[in-house]
Structure 1
Amino acid sequence: METESPLPLTADTKQLAQQTVFPILFTISFAHLINDMLQSVIPSIYPLIKGEFHLTFAQVGLIAFTYQIVASILQPFVGFYTDRKPRPFSLPVGMGLTLTGLLIASMASSYYTILVAVGFIGLGSSIFHPESSRVAHLASGGRKGLAQSIFQLGGNAGSAIGPLLAAIIIAPYGQFNVIWFCIAAFVGILVLLQIGKWYRDRLAYNAKNKTTHSEYHNHNLSRKRVMFSLAVLLVLIFSKFFYLSSITSYYTFFLIHKFHLTIQHSQVYLFLFLGAVAAGTVIGGPLGDRFGRKYIIWISILGVAPFTMLLPYVPLFWTAVLSVVIGLILSSAFSAILVYATDLVPGKVGLIAGLFFGLAFGMGGLGSAVLGKVADMTSIEYVFKICAFLPLIGIFTAFLPNIEHKKKL
C-alpha cells in the first residue's frame, strides 16, 4: 500500500527545496528582531535598575552574566538534541519563556527577582537560536551566508531598537513599563507558530525526498584539523563578543561618566552603535558568499583594531563616529564564522548554531561580569582602554584552512 507524501511533489515544493525562500527568511528574521529586541530591554535599563536597587557595577555585571550564561550553557545541548529530533513548535515555547521573564522583570521588587527574570529570558533564547538558525539554513537554497545575514539582521535590528524603545517607554516612567514589551512577545509567539508549520512541512518533504539536502561539502580535512579550526573560530568569537559586551553593557555608563549625558541621550548613542551592527551584519554574509568567508573574518575582527584603540581618547562627536565604524566592521564576522563552521561540520546546523550562539552569549555574560568588577576597581574609561586590544586576536584567522571557493551570485 502506497503512503501518501506528507507534502505533494508539485513545482512549488520543488522550487522551495532548491531556491532561497525569502518569505520564510524575512519572517524568521522578524521573529529574531522581536526576540532580540525583548532581550535588549534588560541591558537598556541597567542604569535605572542600578539606581533603584542601589547596585554596584559588579552586581549589574552579574545580571548580564546570569542571563547570558543560562543561554550559553543550554544552547549547544538544545542544538545537539534538535539535530537528531527537530522540534518545530519549540520556537513559540521559547518566546513564551521570554514573555514570562518580562512579566517577572516588570514587577520585580528585589535584585534576586531580577536575576530570576533574566534567567527565564536566557532560557527562551537558548531554545530560539538553534532552531531558528536551522529554519534559516533550510530556507537558504544554498546561499547560506545571505540567509544567515538576513536572519542576523533581524536580531541586530531588534538589539538596536530595544534600547531606543526602552529610553522612550521605560526610562521616563519606571521599571513596571517593561510590561508593555509583553505585547511584542505575544506577537512573536503567533509568528513563530506559522514558522513552525512551514518548518514541519519542510522536514517532512526533505525526509520524503532526500536529494533535496545534498549540499554538504567534502573539505578533506582530518578530524584533528577540523577540531583545531573550530577552536580558532571560538577564540575569534571570544574576541568579538567580549569586546561587544563592553559596549552593550557599559557604553551608556561610559558616555554618562565621560561626557555627562543623560540616560536617555546615552541610549540614543547606543542605538546608533547597534544600528551600525545591524547594517554590518547584512553586508558580511553576502560578501562571504561571494569572496570567501575567511577574508571577511580577517577584515572584520583584525581590521577593527585601529578604531577600537582610538575610541577611548576622542571627543563625543568622534566617539559616535568611531562607534558606528566599529559596529559596521565588527558585526560582519558572525554570519561568516557561523557558516564557515557549518561547512567544517556538515549536517550539524543545530549543534554548531547552539555552540556558537551559546559561546557568544557566554562571552557576553563573562565579559559583563569581569568588566563590571574591573570598572568598580578602576574606572569605566579604563575598561574601554583595555578592551580596545581584543580585536588583535583576529590574527589567529591565519590558522584557518581555505575550504571554500569564491562564488559569484
Structure 2
Amino acid sequence: MQQNHSRYIYLLSAGHLFTDMNQGALPAILPFLIAAYHFNYAQVATLVLASTVVSSIIQPVFGNLADKTPRPWMMAIGVLLAGTGMAAAGFLSDFRLLFLSIMISGIGVAAFHPEGARMANKVSGDKKGTGVSIFSFGGNAGFAVGPILATASISLFGLRGTAVLAVPCVLMAITILSQIRKMDQAPPEQSRSEMIPEKPAEPDRWVPFTLLSLLLFGRSIVFCGLNTFLPLFFIQVLQQSESTGSALLSFYFAIGAASTLIGGRLGDRFGFVRITRIGFTLFLPVMAALAITRTLVPAVLLLIPVAFALYSPSSLTVVLGQKYLPNRMGLASGITLGLSVSIGGMMAPLLGNLADNFGLMAAIYAITAISIIPAVMSYTLSNEDKREKAVQNSHSLKN
C-alpha cells in the first residue's frame, strides 16, 4: 500500500468496527430486554433473525447495486443506520417497533459491507491481502467490543444507555463522508503506463467462485457453531465457571482477530490459495484434538491454533472472491462477507437440536466433521497467484 493511501484502510477498518459493533452488542442487550419486557425465547430468536439473517441475505443485493453504480456514500449511511437502529432498541417496549429498529440496524450492516470491502480492495494497492485483513480485523474487533460497550452503557444508564452505541457511529459516518472524495481516487501504486484499469477486461469466473462459496458455507457453520458451543464446552465438559467460559471465548476472539491480520500478510507473501489451504487443513486435526481433550490447560492452549487456522484465511477468501468476479466486486463481497454467514446462522439451531438430543459433545463432534468441507474445498480453488504471474509475464513480453 502506498503511504498516502494506507491511512484510508484504517479509516475503513474503523468504520467496519463501529458497524459490526452493533451486531456484537445485540446478544448483550437481549437479557436486559427479557428482564424489562418479559419476552419469550421465540421472540428473542426473532430479534436475532432480524439482525443477522436479514442483513446477511440482503448484502448481495447492495453488492449488486454497488457494481452497477458505485455508491461509496452508502458506507456512511450503513454505519449510521447500524448504530441508530440498535441505539433505539433501548427506548422501545413494543415488540414490533423493536423488531423494526433492529432490522434497520441489520440493513445498515448490509449496506456498509459491500462498498467497504470494495473500497478496501481499491485503496490497498498491491498489498490486497494485508489491506483487506486490516479491514476484516475491524469487523472482528467490533464483535468483541459490542458486548462490552452495551453492557457497560446499560449498567450505567439503564436500558436507554443503548443510546451510547449511536455516538461513535454518527461521528464515523461524518468522517467517512468527509473523506469519500479523496478515498475514491485510484491509488497510484503504479506508473501511468502500468496502471490496471479499474474495470478489468477479464471475464468473471463463476465456477471457482461457486467452489469458494461452498468452502465459505462450510466455514460459516463451523464458525457459528464454535461461537455458540465453545463456552459451553468449557463450562459443561471441563467443569469451569460461566465467567471462565466467557473469558476464554473472548481469548479465542482476540487470537482470531490477530490471526486475521497475520493471515493477510502471509497471503501477500506466500499466496492467497496456499495460506487458505494450510489454514483449513490445519484446522481439522487441531479441532479434533480439542474435542477429545478433557483437561483445562491443553484445551486453552489448543484455542490458539484453532483460532489461527479458522481466522487466518478469512480476509484472503474475500480477496479471492473479488478476484474471481473482477467485474462484480460488490456482489462478491456481499456473498463472501454476508450471505455465507447466514448459512452458519441457519444451521446453528440444528446443531443445538443435536446437542439437546445426544449431548453437547455430539455438536462438538459434528462441528469437527463439518470442518472437512472447507479443508477439501480449499484444494479445488483456482490458484490466482500463478495466474496473475502468467498475465504479468505476458504483459512484460508485449512491452
TM-score interval, normalised by the smaller of the two chains: 0.7 to 0.9
Output aligned runs, 1:4-403, within 5 Å: 21-45=5-29, 53=38, 55-56=40-41, 61-109=45-93, 114-166=98-150, 168-170=152-154, 175-200=159-184, 202=185, 212-214=195-197, 226-258=205-237, 259=239, 261-262=241-242, 264-312=243-291, 313-393=293-373, 394-403=375-384
Tell me which moved more, 75-84 or 114-123. Answer: 114-123
Structure 1 gaps, min length 5: 1-15
- 1:20/1:140 contact within 8 Å kept: no
- SS of the counterpart of 1:230? helix
Q: 1:101 to 1:372 in 2, by over 3 A?
A: farther
Q: How big is the shift at 1:116?
A: 3.2
One-letter identity of the residue aligned with 1:280: S
| Identity score, percent | 27
Q: Does 383-392 or 249-258 show the bigger shift?
A: 249-258
Is the 1:102–1:178 Cα contact (8 Å) retained in structure 2? Answer: yes
Corresponding letter in the other structure for 1:399 = T
Distance apart, 1:373 and its partner CA: 4.0
Residues 274 and 191 (structure 1), Cα distance of their counterparts in 2 relative to 1, 3 Å cut: farther
What is the deviation of 1:278? Answer: 0.8
For residues 375 and 64 of structure 1, the distance between their equivalents in structure 2, rounded to whole angstroms, comes to 20
- Which one has more relative contact order, counting CA pairs under 8 Å at least 6 apart? 1
Deviation at 1:390, TM superposition (A): 1.9
Q: What do the CA deviations read for 1:7-40 (whole angstroms, capped 9, x no partner)?
A: xxxxxxxxx9x77721101111111111122221
Shift of 1:245: 0.9
Taking a change above 3 Å as real, the CA distance of residues 55 and 386 of structure 1, as seen in their structure-2 partners, is farther
Per the alignment, in what secondary structure is the counterpart of residue 22 of structure 1?
helix
**Residues 50-80 of structure 1, C-alpha deviations (whole Å, 9 max, x = no match):** 6764644x76555433322212221111111
TM-score (norm 2): 0.83
Partner residue of 1:3? none
CA distance in 2: counterparts of 1:320 and 1:48, whole angstroms: 30
TM-score by length of 1: 0.81
Structure 1 residues 267 and 20, CA, compared in 2 at 3 Å: closer, same or farther? farther
Moved more, 296-305 or 160-169: 160-169
SS in 1 for 2:319: helix
Q: Deviations over 1:87-121 (max 9, x none)?
A: 12111111121123212322343665554343222
C-alpha deviation, 1:130, in angstroms: 0.5
1:131 counterpart letter in structure 2: E
Instruction: Give structure 2 stretches of 5+ with no counterpart.
Output: 390-399
CA distance in 2, matches of 1:133, 1:199: 13
1:7 is aligned to none
CA separation of 1:334 and 1:360: change in aligned 2, threshold 3 A? same
Find the aligned partners of 2:81 and 2:315 in 1 and give their Cα distance: 26
Aligned residues: 382
CA deviation string 1:251-284 (max 9, x = no partner): 445545453523x554322221111111111011
Per the TM alignment, residue 215 of structure 1 is displaced from its structure 2 partner at its CA by 7.2
**SS at structure 1 position matched to 2:371:** helix
**1:404 corresponds to:** 385
Which shows bigger deviation, 142-151 or 39-48? 39-48
Q: Secondary structure at the match of 1:388?
A: helix
Contact persistence 2:84–2:165 (CA under 8 A):
no
C-alpha separation in 2, matches of 1:203 and 1:403: 22
Q: Deviations over 1:368-389 (max 9, x none)?
A: 3433444454544432232122
